Copies of this chain bind each other. A is one copy, B any other.
């Protein structure tokens, strides 16, 4: 489940991606444009900054900018920072594996095997999509999106 923190963070990143590179955005501006509580967004952008996704500048004329080109920022990475691992269950995570304490034989745990598949499917989507693509998809009236039921 994507939390509001994750959702707000992604929206903020999309907002930044829509800017001329180097042109800073204010927290208050991003918050207002996306209906996000300002103070909450404040802490979210702080985390994204600590993680190296955005740069910040204080004082007049300050604000936030993307630290890298939107083409180089993968959506899955952002979500991991804000909401934790993608895997539905920790014993199926690759970036932050942890054993289930109730599982005696992990190799024959059907749940885990299934969740490895699920994680793989999720990661395939989220780790291949970049911020630039996400923004483009939003602008182009969903043309890019092609379902394969």
Please choose the segment from A19-27, A57-65, A100-108 that sits at the chain B interface, where 4 or more of its residues have CB less than 8 A away.
Answer: A100-108
Q: Please, how many angstroms separate the alpha-carbon atoms of A11 and B141 in the complex?
A: 42
Least CB distance from A53 to B in Å reads 16
Q: Quick one: CB contact mask for A99-119 with B, threshold 8 Å, 1 for yes?
A: 011111001111101111110
Closest beta carbon of chain B to A89's beta carbon, Å? 5
Contact with B along A108-149 (1 / 0, CB 8 A): 111101111110111011100100001101110110110111
How far, in Å, is A114 (CB) from chain B's closest CB?
A: 5
User: What are the residues of chain B within 8 A of A34 when measuring CB–CB?
Assistant: 102
**Is A52 interfacial (CB-CB < 8 Å)?**
no
Tell whether A88 pairs with B2 under 8 Å between CB atoms, given A110-B134, A111-B134.
yes
Q: Is A16 at the interface (CB under 8 A from chain B)?
A: no
Q: In the complex, what residue of chain B is closest to A121 when comparing beta carbons?
A: B121
Decide: A109 and B89 in contact? CB cutoff 8 A.
no
Q: Does A36 contact B (CB under 8 A)?
A: yes
* Bound complex: CA A115 to CA B31 (Å): 21
Q: Which of B14, B36, B124, B129 is the one whose CB lies under 8 Å from A102?
A: B36
Give the distance in Å from the alpha carbon of A104 to the alpha carbon of B149 in the complex.
27
